């Protein structure tokens, strides 16, 4: 929302604060200002001038023009505008004037020295017309009537979400007057509104959707451009001047916050305006040249033939004001915020009107706006006449109950002292009604423009008083709180330990998005239909919620392999799985990768080492591979007899520049297996003995399996089994390997004798042979 400083000054009487200081005050006390713009600074220099002579110049459009600027003398100006002709009064921009960030000088054009320029409405910031020079009525040499240098303060719309009253200058002027202690002038004169019956009737079907609809008929109107001051005002705050009638409705909206619409009365069928839900499929041609098919969810304004406006959003094309319009129906209505918002969101049609209505406008404002509009119409179209009185369909609206504000409660909320008198003064400056039933209690009546949504409870009044008294007057104070150690979420602690552990092993942490594309999901053999799906994704890349962290990590590998010969990275994040009847399940995963341009099997074992660092005593069990996994280098990770993840090398087609190994652990499963109670075992007191065993087995026999067999056979006296080496080659037959282990044995109560050790060894050799293993003894 853009606010004109001059406009505010018309209502906040005596406003003399510098625009920049005012902007800061508004930011600190009311709403966030985003910027301050100088507007029309040239109006202190540009003057009216009469064109005296026009001579052709060269072959182009430019012509040599002699102008008379009254007391400022006659000047030669080169001008290319088609409407530049003798006798016309236009605007002369003298040399030295800054116009649109450019200083206008004396320029030589086509061999003629041109002193300054003649300007169009757009160049002057009065309207958007650039077809020709602006034609005005004024004495040559005079400043442009009604156009003064101004400043525009831009306020962040978001910070006005709860303030319907601040969508017009009058509301902001009220704030300014309260902040600075100025007198607020009301631009509305309700007494000027004629009384009597209206020639039009208004029929509102559902007063919940339309709490008030006020209309007034005005005839004998002449449609033409607005006076310059009116065009300039609208242009300055970003509204496009169109014609005097439309401009008046926009002016009133910008001043009072009340959106208005003017219908061409001759184009309406019948003498009743209906406010009703649209019929299913009802066509509607809007002023923006779009055609809509409506549903009953939308509220329309209709005559007896059909929709003439989409309530609170946009007017219809057919009944729009045209050059030939002479009789108007002025609409000033109030609509339910939620309904307008839904319609505008559904049709993707945000207008100045819908933006205001969705903030819950004040129904008391409709008739005020009509009064103001009539007053302005009489200025911009002299001779126009109001027909009858206001047709006003207004639902009964009970006054909101007054709010009881105990001053001691207020003090506790603010955290500083405040006298009841001061609180009262602040509220009254903001035009609240205040009674004081007892010395330390105020009873506050909320003005209608703050009562629609904004203020209904005493907490809302804390803000009113706090912001006006100044939050900088509150001294920070330490709260008195119990000193108990806070609860610690075990999962958080677990994930945090894990992050540090994995990083300490040389892995860099990455964060990937929670989204995945359908295509990528499919490539990783995940069914897109079984994913949680985004209904309104930014792009197809972000259509699904990730069910696995592997695609993201794979992408990280591919991208980083362009810059590094080798790296390790990991992510701890959530895989999101749909769950019928409740929120999706968010399963924490650890997914890590090692990449090397030249590495080979050692990468797998380094990753296995990481798995063992995370899960002490975990095992790998080779398993069938997915398409993106190396068919002979893929295993499940087992921990405490449960599958908790996978460790695999990426299929070489997926990582073409080197090799990459990944580990993916389901941390929810890991966490569920929990910590084990630790129990003390007595330290061995008697020395151990060791012997080696070598088993000859087929090449792909798993060393892990052999070790298990050895453990079983060793019996109670086993201390540990250590893998020593494996060997393939002569004298072994092709396809066989020899695997050597060192077996360490010890007894808890004595030193094992040589005979005992030999007995264990013999027993194991027999046992292995019985299971069909060949031993090299």
Partner 1 sequence: MVESQLESLAQSARERIGAAATAEELEAVRVEVLGRKGALAEISKGLGRLSPEDRARIGKLLNLAKNELEALLERRKQEFEEAALRAKLEAEWVDLTLPAPGPRPGVLHPLTQIQEELEDLFTSMGVVVLDGPEVETEYNNFDALNIPPDHPARDMQDTFWLTDGNCLRTHTSCVQVRGMAKLGPPLRMIAPGRVFRNEEVDPSHEHTFYQLEGMMVDRNVSIAHMLYFMKTLLRHIFGREVTVRLRPGYFPFVEPGFELDVQCLICDGQGCPVCKHSGWVELLPCGLVHPNVLRMGGIDPEEWSGFAFGLGLTRLVMMRYGIDDIRYLQSGDLRFLRQF
b/e sequence 43-81, b meaning 16+ C-beta within 10 Å: bebbbbbbbeebeebeeeebbbbebbbbebeebbbbbbb
Kindly state the smallest distance separating residue 584's Cβ from partner 1, in Å: 5
**Which of 504/716 has CB closer to partner 1?**
504
**Which of 2/122 has CB closer to partner 1?**
2
**Which of 408/774 has CB closer to partner 1?**
408
Instruction: Give the other-Cβ count within 10 Å of 614's Cβ.
Output: 23
In the three-class reduction of DSSP (H, G, I as helix; E, B as strand; rest coil), residue 687 is classed as coil
What is residue 142's DSSP assignment? P
**Which of 377/667 has CB closer to partner 1?**
667
Instruction: Give the other-Cβ count within 10 Å of 13's Cβ.
Output: 12
Q: How far apart are CA 770 and CA 777, in angstroms?
A: 15
- Tell me which H or E stretch contains 79: strand 74-79
Kindly state the smallest distance separating residue 428's Cβ from partner 1, in Å: 19
Kindly state the smallest distance separating residue 46's Cβ from partner 1, in Å: 30
**Which of 471/686 has CB closer to partner 1?**
471
- Tell me which H or E stretch contains 288: none
User: 469 CB contacts (<8 Å, ≥6 apart)?
Assistant: 414, 418, 422, 426
Kindly state the smallest distance separating residue 507's Cβ from partner 1, in Å: 4
Kindly state the smallest distance separating residue 536's Cβ from partner 1, in Å: 5
Which tokens go with 594? 């090692």
Kindly state the smallest distance separating residue 659's Cβ from partner 1, in Å: 16
> 442: which strand partners?
405
- Tell me which H or E stretch contains 537: none
Kindly state the smallest distance separating residue 24's Cβ from partner 1, in Å: 8
**Cis omega (within 30 of 0) for bond into 731:** yes
Kindly state the smallest distance separating residue 496's Cβ from partner 1, in Å: 7
**Which of 381/596 has CB closer to partner 1?**
596
Kindly state the smallest distance separating residue 765's Cβ from partner 1, in Å: 40
Kindly state the smallest distance separating residue 292's Cβ from partner 1, in Å: 20
**Which of 437/485 has CB closer to partner 1?**
485
341 in Cβ contact with 354 (< 8 Å): yes
**Which of 364/501 has CB closer to partner 1?**
501
**Which of 174/761 has CB closer to partner 1?**
174
Which tokens go with 234? 């609208």
Q: How many CA atoms lie less than 13 Å away from 482 in the CB half-sphere? A: 3
**Which of 2/555 has CB closer to partner 1?**
555
User: 641 CB contacts (<8 Å, ≥6 apart)?
Assistant: none
In the three-class reduction of DSSP (H, G, I as helix; E, B as strand; rest coil), residue 524 is classed as coil
- Tell me which H or E stretch contains 648: strand 642-650
Kindly state the smallest distance separating residue 130's Cβ from partner 1, in Å: 32
Cα three-residue angle 461-467-472, rounded to 5 degrees: 135
734 in Cβ contact with 745 (< 8 Å): no
Q: How far apart are CA 697 and CA 295, in angstroms?
A: 78
**Which of 485/687 has CB closer to partner 1?**
485
Q: How far apart are CA 407 and CA 469, in angstroms?
A: 14
């Amino acid at each position: 929302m853009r606010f004109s400083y001059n406009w505010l000054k018309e209502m906040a009487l005596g406003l003399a604060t510098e625009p920049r200081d005012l902007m800061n005050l508004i930011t600190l006390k009311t709403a966030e200002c985003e910027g301050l713009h100088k507007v029309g600074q040239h109006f202190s220099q540009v003057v009216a001038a009469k064109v005296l002579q026009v001579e052709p110049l060269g072959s182009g459009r430019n012509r040599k023009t002699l102008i008379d600027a009254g007391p400022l003398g006659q000047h030669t100006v080169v001008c290319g505008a088609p409407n530049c002709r003798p006798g016309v009064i236009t605007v002369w921009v003298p040399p030295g004037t800054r116009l649109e960030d450019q200083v206008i000088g004396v320029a030589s054009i086509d061999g003629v020295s041109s002193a300054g320029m003649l300007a169009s409405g757009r160049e002057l910031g009065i309207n958007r017309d650039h077809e020709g020079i602006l034609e005005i009525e004024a004495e040559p040499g005079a400043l442009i009537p009604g156009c003064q240098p101004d400043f525009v303060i831009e306020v962040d719309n978001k910070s006005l979400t709860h303030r319907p009253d601040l969508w017009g200058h009058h509301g902001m002027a009220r704030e300014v007057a309260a902040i600075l202690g100025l007198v607020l002038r009301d631009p509305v004169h309700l007494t000027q509104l004629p009384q009597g019956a209206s020639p039009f009737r208004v029929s509102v079907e559902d007063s919940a959707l339309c709490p008030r609809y006020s209309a007034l008929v005005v005839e004998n109107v002449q449609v033409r451009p607005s006076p310059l001051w009116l065009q300039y005002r609208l242009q300055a705050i970003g509204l496009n001047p169109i014609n005097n009638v439309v401009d008046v409705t926009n002016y009133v909206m910008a001043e009072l916050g009340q959106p208005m619409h003017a219908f061409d009365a001759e184009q309406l069928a019948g003498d009743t305006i209906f406010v009703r839900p649209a019929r299913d499929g009802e066509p509607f041609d809007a002023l923006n040249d779009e055609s809509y098919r409506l549903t009953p969810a939308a509220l329309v304004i209709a005559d007896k033939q059909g929709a003439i406006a989409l309530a609170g959003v946009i007017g219809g094309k057919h009944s729009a004001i045209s050059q030939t319009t002479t009789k108007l129906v002025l609409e000033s209505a109030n609509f339910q915020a939620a309904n307008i918002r839904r319609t505008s969101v559904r049709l993707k049609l945000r207008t100045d009107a819908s933006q205001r209505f969705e903030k819950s406008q004040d129904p008391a404002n409709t008739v005020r706006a009509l009064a103001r509009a009539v007053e302005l119409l009489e200025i911009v179209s002299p001779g126009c006449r109001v027909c009858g009185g206001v047709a006003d369909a207004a639902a009964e609206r009970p006054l909101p109950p007054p709010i009881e504000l105990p001053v001691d409660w207020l003090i506790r909320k603010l955290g500083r002292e405040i006298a009841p008198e001061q609180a009262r003064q602040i509220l009254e400056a903001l035009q609240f009604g205040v009674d004081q039933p007892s010395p330390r209690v105020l009873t506050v009546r909320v003005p209608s423009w703050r009562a629609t949504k904004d203020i209904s409870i005493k907490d809302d009044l804390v803000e009113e008083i706090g912001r006006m008294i100044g939050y900088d007057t509150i001294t920070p104070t330490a709260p008195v709180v119990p000193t108990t150690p806070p609860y610690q979420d075990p999962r958080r602690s677990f994930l945090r330990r894990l992050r540090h552990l994995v990083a300490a092993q040389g892995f860099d942490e990455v964060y990937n998005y929670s989204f995945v594309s359908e295509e990528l999901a499919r490539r990783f053999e995940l069914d897109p239909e079984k994913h949680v799906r985004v209904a309104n994704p930014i792009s197809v890349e972000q259509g699904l919620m990730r069910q696995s962290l592997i695609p993201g990590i794979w992408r990280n590998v591919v991208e980083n392999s362009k810059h590094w010969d080798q790296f390790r990275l990991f992510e701890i994040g959530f895989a999101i799985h749909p769950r019928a009847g409740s929120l999706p399940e968010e399963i924490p995963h650890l997914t890590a990768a090692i990449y090397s341009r030249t590495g080979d099997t050692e990468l797998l074992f380094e990753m296995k080492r990481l798995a063992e660092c995370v899960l002490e005593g975990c095992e790998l069990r080779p398993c069938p591979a997915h398409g993106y996994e190396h068919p002979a280098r893929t295993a499940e990770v087992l921990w405490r007899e449960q599958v908790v993840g996978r460790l695999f090398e990426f299929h070489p087609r997926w990582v073409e520049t080197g090799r990459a190994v990944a580990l993916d652990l389901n941390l929810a499963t890991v966490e569920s297996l929990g910590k084990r109670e630790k129990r003390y075992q007595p330290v061995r007191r008697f020395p151990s003995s060791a012997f080696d065993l070598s088993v000859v087995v087929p090449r792909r026999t798993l060393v892990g399996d052999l070790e298990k067999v050895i453990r079983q056979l060793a019996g109670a006296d086993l201390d540990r089994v250590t893998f020593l080496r494996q060997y393939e080659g002569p004298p072994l037959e092709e396809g066989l390997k020899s695997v050597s282990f060192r077996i360490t044995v010890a007894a808890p109560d004595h030193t094992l004798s040589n005979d005992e050790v030999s007995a264990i060894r013999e027993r194991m050799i027999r046992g292995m042979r019985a299971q069909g293993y060949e031993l090299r003894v």
